[in-house]
Structure formats: C-alpha cells, structure tokens
C-alpha cells in the first residue's frame, strides 16, 4: 500500500477533482453564485464561481489517505489540514457573502501560524518558521490577486507543485502530487474556456498549499528556502511589485483592480490563453532552474534565486512600461 505510484495517485485524484468541480458548478448555478463582467474584471460573460472547493476537498482526501498510510505523521497532517480548512472556509464564506479584508487577513495569518508552528517543531529554527509565516500569508493573498483570467492560478500552481515534488523525496513528494492532482482535475473546467471560476475558496487555498509545499521542502531537503520559491516567482513578482506600486502611489491596494501585468496584457488584446501560456512557460523555466540549483551549495542556490527574481523584475518593469496605457 505504501509503494504508491505518484502518477497513478495523480490521475486518480485528478478524476476526483474533476467530478467535484462539475458538482461545484451545478451548485453555483443553482445558488446563482456568479461573477458578472465589469470594469475591474477580465471576463465578458457571467460565470459561476467557487469551483476551487474541488481542489480543497481533493487535498483533504489526499491528506486523510496520508494519515492512514503514515500514522506517525497523522498529527502533523491534521494541523496542515486545519490551516487549509481555515483559509478555504473564509474564502467559501467570502464567495457567498463578501467579508471585510481585515477579517480575511486575520484568518490567513492564523493558518500561516499553524504552518510556521509545524516547521518550528520540525527544525527548532525560529527564523525559518517566521519566514514561512510571512511567505504563507503573502502567497494566500497573492494567489487570490493573480486569479483573474482563465487557467492562470490553477495552471501555475500545477507547474509549481510538480516542480517541488521533483526535488522532494518520497513519501513527502506525494503531498505535492495531491495538490497537482486537484489542479489537474479543475483546469478542464477553467481553461481555455472558463465554465467556472476558482473563487476565493480556491485561490487562497492554493496560495496556502504552495507555501506549505515550499515549507515542507525546506525541512526535508537541504535546498535553500529562496531557491524553493523560484517556481513561484512570476506570481510573487507580478503581484508584489504591482501592489507595491499601488501603495506608493497612495491607491487603496486591497481593492479589486486590473493593473497587474497579466491583466494589462489582456486589456492590450492578448487572449487569456496566450497570457496564461506565458506564465506557465515562466513556471516551467523556473522549475528547470530549481532542478539545476539542487547541485549547488546553499549560498549559490540563494544567489541563483535572487538572480532569477531580478530577471523577472526587469521583465515586469519592461512590460509595465510597454503596457502603461492599458
């Protein structure tokens, strides 16, 4: 039972996710949970939301299976699952009845603290735990900000999860496979044509899951934590620099907007498929850079990660100038 083939688990859980996404779409249509077109949105047709619950439930099924197969890890998996339920739960609530941003942020911070506690317990390194707390809180919100066009949040998370799975030993890599499976089952309903959106329940949960995988990899491998963020850097750079520019200009940065580079590209005439494809390509290149960094010393890995981030920042700045009129 423990000799699980990762690709078999991936396909089985992807099927579960696909069925759950179909059910979520029926539920959203029945409850009229729709995202309508508007000035601050990148779609033109009213579309059901909340399909990301399928990714969450698939992840929870995977975690439950892991607890049964590896009883010694059950308590840690339960704490991990509790954080996921917190983030997904507040997102599900917000999808049904919008909540104040501060209330959502407090829940995100609580879930991130659970992750940080797991890392602290495993390593005894308080600095590593604090860093994960900050990264997790950021990624939960950044993934939500980047979930604005068809396939981008799920597709980028799929690449990120598989890239982290590739550098982790078994059975830890199976957790990343579970996340990838959830995304794989959801994507046919969201890309290239969106029949349902992920919603806050899914985008926030994916940010939490990606942070958790990076945190796990930092514990079970000797890879520098900065290098583990390489496959996630395109989202971090676009969301981080865009939000920073909004703060510096005195704008209300928590409000919905269309100023991210990916949103401006769509407004400039690029299709959702083209823009999502570019980000997935950046994720694949980042995965290759991470794989190459494994052979380097930790400080060299950190330097490579910073160089990759600087390259993406330059690309962001160039695209920001080219798309400044959109």
Structure confidence by residue, pLDDT tens digits, 82-108: 999 999 999 999 999 888 888 999 999
Asked whether the predicted pLDDT for residue 172 surpasses 50, the reply is yes
- Separation between Cα atoms, residue 60 and residue 209, nearest integer Å: 11
Q: Is the pTM of this model over 0.85?
A: yes
Q: Is 144 annotated to bind ligand?
A: yes
pLDDT value for 1: 40
pLDDT band of residue 16 (cuts 50, 70, 90) is: very high
Q: How many domains does the chain have?
A: 1
Asked whether the predicted pLDDT for residue 252 surpasses 90, the reply is no
Residue whose entry in the numeric block shows the structure tokens 């969450």: 56
- Any domain includes 186: yes
Window from 150-159, 241-250, 296-305 with minimum mean pLDDT: 241-250
Q: Who contacts 47 (Cβ-Cβ below 8 Å, separation ≥6)?
A: 34, 35, 194, 195, 196, 197
pLDDT band of residue 149 (cuts 50, 70, 90) is: very high
Residue 261: in which H helix or E strand, if any? helix 261-267
- Any domain includes 91: yes
- Any domain includes 65: yes
Share of the chain above pLDDT 90, in %: 78
- Any domain includes 1: no
- Any domain includes 78: yes
In DSSP notation, 52-116 reads: THHHHHHHHHHHHHHHHH-GGGHHHHHHHHHHHHHHHHHHHHHHHS---HHHHHHHHHHHHHHHH
As a 3-state breakdown, the chain gives helix, strand, coil percent values, each rounded to 5, of 75, 0, 25
- Any domain includes 154: yes
Asked whether the predicted pLDDT for residue 308 surpasses 90, the reply is yes
pLDDT value for 3: 54
Contact yes or no for 49/95 (Cβ under 8 A): yes
What tokens does 324 get?
């400044």
Q: Is 200 annotated to bind ligand?
A: yes
What are 120-148's pLDDT values in tens digits? 999 999 999 999 999 999 999 999 999 98
Instruction: Give residue 305's domain range.
Output: 6-322
């Amino acid at each position: 039972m423990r000799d699980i083939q990762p690709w078999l688990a991936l396909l089985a859980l992807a099927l579960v996710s696909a069925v759950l996404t179909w059910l979520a779409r029926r539920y959203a249509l029945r409850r009229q949970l729709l995202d309508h077109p508007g000035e601050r949105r990148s779609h033109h047709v009213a579309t059901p939301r909340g399909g990301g619950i399928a990714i969450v439930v698939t992840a929870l099924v995977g975690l439950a299976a892991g607890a049964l197969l590896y009883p010694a890890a059950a308590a840690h998996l339960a704490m991990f699952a509790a954080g996921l339920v917190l983030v997904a739960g507040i997102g599900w609530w917000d999808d049904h009845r919008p909540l104040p941003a501060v209330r959502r942020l407090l829940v995100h911070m609580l879930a991130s603290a659970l992750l940080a506690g797991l890392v602290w317990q495993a390593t005894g390194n308080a600095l590593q735990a604090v860093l994960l707390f900050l990264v997790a809180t950021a990624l939960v919100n950044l993934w939500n900000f980047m979930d604005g066009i068809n396939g981008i949040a799920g597709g980028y998370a799929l690449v990120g999860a598989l890239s982290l799975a590739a550098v982790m030993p078994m059975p830890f890599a199976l957790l990343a496979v579970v996340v990838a499976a959830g995304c794989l089952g959801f994507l046919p309903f969201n890309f290239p044509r969106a029949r349902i959106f992920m919603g806050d329940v899914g985008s926030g949960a994916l940010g939490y899951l990606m942070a958790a995988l990076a945190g796990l990899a930092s514990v079970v491998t000797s890879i520098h934590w900065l290098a583990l963020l390489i496959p996630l850097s395109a989202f971090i750079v676009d969301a981080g620099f865009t939000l920073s520019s909004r703060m510096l200009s005195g704008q209300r940065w928590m409000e919905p907007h269309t100023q991210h580079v990916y949103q401006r590209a769509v407004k400039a005439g690029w299709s959702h498929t083209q823009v999502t494809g570019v980000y997935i390509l950046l994720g694949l290149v980042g995965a290759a850079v991470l794989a190459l960094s494994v052979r380097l010393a930790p400080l060299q890995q950190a330097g490579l990660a910073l160089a990759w981030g600087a390259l993406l920042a330059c690309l962001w700045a160039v695209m920001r100038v080219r798309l400044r009129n959109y």
